[in-house]
Structure 1
């Protein structure tokens, strides 16, 4: 079994589970999938990748709320666009800190907050659960591929009866 096939299997199973959990808990399933995607796209693997994606997703939520809050006080529409530009600059420049260097994760959190009309109380747990599900999808897929390949290797050794007969 290829690693891709194993990850596809576990992702399919856990995606269905996530959909059910999201509905059951009243979370945003689409925001959870954004959190999952953010993890999968992270340049790091494992728990470091999860940490990076979750931290930057959360800073993105904070930046979105800053844009929304400051824009409420903008008396001219163009000022709201200027605020968005300044905050977008800050979202990128925060990457000077290594633990905030995953810029796409920041924009995922920001966009999810905009899409949810600023309902950060709903976006945050959805992104967090989604990120964890992304981690579980990939790590369980890697485990499945490794296990399956070890079994296939054992079955192909001389003197071992093949189950394919």
Structure 2
């Protein structure tokens, strides 16, 4: 549990601040949380930031293009065909290393659709969310280091023993 204390504190505080600020400014609060989750799911740090945000933004762009096509075609089954092609593209773009986080691309498209096709508000919230992920990762590490150095914990103390892998049997007497 202790290993997650730093990130828990940093995420909690930043989430509260983001919620207050975004509501006051009329920004799309929930979209940032999706990008924030993608940051951690893509590995955190610089890699999670780059891959998560790039995939999220590509998903928005592909979703925007799909919405343009859907608005211009009106035959039965058109939407299903558009979604089929869109899902295919979101997967095959993962051949590019920067876009290799497929869930992030789907999340980007989904939040674009979820905001009723609000392109710039969606993009802004995704960028803020990725930045919040980065900040919470850095702050979480710093808080965790401070907690680990707190009184009663010393670097010279031995580490706690690992949990046994199997059932423990009493020692023979």
Is the contact between residue 3 and residue 141 of structure 1 (CA under 8 Å) also seen in structure 2?
no
Compute the displacement of 1:98 (Å): 0.8
User: Where does residue 112 of structure 1 map in the other structure?
Assistant: 111
Distance in 1 between residues matched to 2:64 and 2:56, nearest whole Å: 13
User: Where does residue 23 of structure 1 map in the other structure?
Assistant: 23
Compute the displacement of 1:64 (Å): 0.7
User: Which structure has the highest helix share of the two?
Assistant: 1
Moved more, 146-155 or 130-139: 146-155
Compute the displacement of 1:154 (Å): 6.0
Is the contact between residue 44 and residue 133 of structure 2 (CA under 8 Å) also seen in structure 1?
no
Compute the displacement of 1:2 (Å): 1.7
Moved more, 94-103 or 72-81: 72-81
Compute the displacement of 1:150 (Å): 2.9
Distance in 2 between residues matched to 1:69 and 1:147, nearest whole Å: 51
Count of matched residue positions in the alignment of Structure 1 and Structure 2 = 156
Q: Tell me which structure has the larger Cα radius of gyration.
A: 2
User: Where does residue 64 of structure 1 map in the other structure?
Assistant: 63
Compute the displacement of 1:86 (Å): 0.6
User: Where does residue 170 of structure 2 map in the other structure?
Assistant: none
Is the contact between residue 39 and residue 131 of structure 1 (CA under 8 Å) also seen in structure 2?
yes
Gaps of 5+ in 2: 158-173
Calculate the aligned-residue CA RMSD, in Å.
Answer: 1.8
SS of corresponding position for 1:27: coil
Compute the displacement of 1:136 (Å): 1.3
The TM-score with structure 2 as length reference comes to: 0.84
1:1-12 aligned within 5 A: 2-12=2-12
Q: Which runs of 4+ in 1 moved over 6 A?
A: none
The TM-score with structure 1 as length reference comes to: 0.88
